[in-house]
Chain A
């Protein structure tokens, strides 16, 4: 059974940093593309970015609002996905989900972790 468990969310001040983790199990993590999706409470879904598997180049892509501030990485030895968030803004407040990404099909999701950016 695929399991994705996010952690690392919390309260941070504007301009601050936070690193989210997503522990994966139940599938061959090293072969998987992974994405992060966020959701402002009570609002819709917004794709944040993705990382390809190392065999597919390990490259990353980001949505415009986070480009230059967020970095997605992976540690295949720990089957863990990361989202490093710097220069946080109040508009980054959201629940952050990690997902498996089958070339656009976001087919397994974690439970999400809440990030609140507030002074």
Chain B
């Protein structure tokens, strides 16, 4: 199975900060990577697909980049409603695998 390693596992930031989360795959996954946001008590929500494409309706302060084994998720200006846990997920090979999550706090 492809292992996905996210860092950091938790992050404290202030409103307006630029926030960056990294995700590393254990092998080359091209751009077959998605990012999800999960708020407490809610289901995950797809934010970014194919490493860098913003899902419809997702604010433009969210962005993603990378290919191969190294990926970056960025929030350009943190808002209070962005408090959540963020997960990367690869779909290059089955089984789909997720990173362990990054809990973002203000």
Assuming the contacts A105-B49, A107-B55, asked whether A63 and B43 have C-beta atoms less than 8 A apart, the reply is no
Q: Which of B15-23, B60-68, B76-84, B90-98 lies at the interface with chain A? A: B90-98
Q: A44-B101, A107-B46 are in contact. List 12 more A-B contacts (CB 8 A).
A: A44-B87, A44-B99, A45-B36, A47-B95, A47-B96, A64-B1, A104-B32, A107-B55, A109-B43, A109-B45, A111-B43, A112-B43
Total chain A interface residues with beta-carbon distance under 8 A: 19
Total chain B interface residues with beta-carbon distance under 8 A: 24
Q: Which residues of A contact B24 (CB under 8 A)?
A: none
Tally of A-B residue pairs with Cβ under 8 A?
52
Complex alpha-carbon distance, A109 and B45, angstroms? 7
A contact residues vs B (CB 8 Å cutoff): 35, 37, 44-47, 61, 63-64, 97, 103-107, 109-112
A47 touches B34 (CB 8 A): no
Q: Tell me if B52 is interfacial: C-beta within 8 Å of chain A.
A: no
Q: Tell me if B100 is interfacial: C-beta within 8 Å of chain A.
A: yes
Q: List 6 A-B contacts (CB under 8 A).
A: A45-B36, A64-B95, A106-B44, A106-B96, A107-B46, A110-B43
Q: Which residues of B contact A37 (CB under 8 A)?
A: 44
Task: Looking at the assembled complex, report how far the CB atom of B24 sits from the nearest CB atom of chain A, in whole angstroms.
Answer: 16
A46 touches B49 (CB 8 A): no
Q: Tell me if B5 is interfacial: C-beta within 8 Å of chain A.
A: no
Complex alpha-carbon distance, A23 and B44, angstroms? 18
B89 touches A45 (CB 8 A): yes
Q: Which residues of B contact A45 (CB under 8 A)?
A: 36, 38, 44, 87, 89, 98, 101
Q: Which residues of A contact B36 (CB under 8 A)?
A: 45, 106
A106 touches B95 (CB 8 A): no
Complex alpha-carbon distance, A112 and B40, angstroms? 13
For B93, the closest partner residue in chain A by CB is A104
A105 touches B34 (CB 8 A): yes
Complex alpha-carbon distance, A111 and B45, angstroms? 11
Task: Looking at the assembled complex, report how far the CB atom of A94 sits from the nearest CB atom of chain B, in whole angstroms.
Answer: 13
For A63, the closest partner residue in chain B by CB is B95
Complex alpha-carbon distance, A97 and B89, angstroms? 16
